[in-house]
Amino acid sequence: MTGHFNESGFIPLNIAVLTVSDSRTRENDTSGDSLNNNARDAGHNVVERCIVPDDIYQMRAIVSQWIADTNVHVIISTGGTGITGRDSTPEALIPLFDKSLDGFGELFRTISLDDIGTSAIQSRAFSGLANGTLVFCLPGSTGACRTGWDGILKEQLDHRTRPCNFAQMFPRLLEK
């Protein structure tokens, strides 16, 4: 992994956490808890958190609201990225993107290969940029959320990570 320059202090980002599930509640949402706690432990602000059924239009409504909110820098979702009939997070959110960040899903599956073997091929983890907001979509298991956070997001949301990271891009994300 890349190292950190310690020239300046940590700059917290405002993160919204979305759990996509037909069965999770605040009491049993271990994946959402994991993302929330990891973001806070890293020094970020979790400014919104929501659980929504695996319904394309409900997902789009919430994420569209967060994308339009200039106070939300990053959205991290968990759930709905599999291949069953109810898994519809990619279909719901990809149409909202201005740009796709294909490397996120590729890297997530590569890292997952070490943990879950060839089952990693079943993940449709993905990411994109919408109205200057970074959107990262992870599978619904707590282990997958831990893999995504520890293996990618923790460093990429820290502006000190070199040679580059997503966080340092914020001043330029809306350039025309």
Query: Does the pLDDT at position 3 exceed 80?
Result: no
Q: 0.85 cut: is pTM over it?
A: yes
Sequential DSSP letters for 91-138: HHHGGG-SEE-HHHHHHHHHHHHHHHGGGGGG---EEEEETTEEEEEE
Q: pLDDT value at position 122?
A: 87
Q: What is the pLDDT of residues 47-61, one digit of tens each?
A: 999 999 999 999 999
Q: What is the rounded distance in angstroms from the CA atom of residue 59 to the CA atom of residue 4?
A: 35
Residue 5 has pLDDT above 50, yes or no: no
Mean pLDDT (whole number) for 124-142: 97
DSSP-assigned letter for residue 161:
B
Q: Determine the average pLDDT of the residues in 60-88.
A: 96
If we measure between CA atoms, which residue out of 94, 85, 17, 27 comes closest to residue 52?
A: 17
Ordered alpha helix ranges (H), the chain:
30-42, 56-68, 89-93, 102-116, 142-148, 154-156
How large is the average pLDDT for residues 151-168?
Answer: 93
Average pLDDT, stretch 167-176? 81
Contact 135, 127 (CB under 8 A): yes
Class of domain 14-171: alpha beta
Element (H, E) at 19: strand 14-20
* Least confident interval from 33-37, 73-77, 153-157, 161-165: 161-165
Instruction: Quote the pLDDT of residue 126.
Output: 97
Confidence of residue 7 (pLDDT cuts 50, 70, 90): low
Q: What is the pLDDT of residue 151?
A: 96
| Per-domain residue ranges of the chain | 14-171
Asked whether the predicted pLDDT for residue 2 surpasses 50, the reply is: no
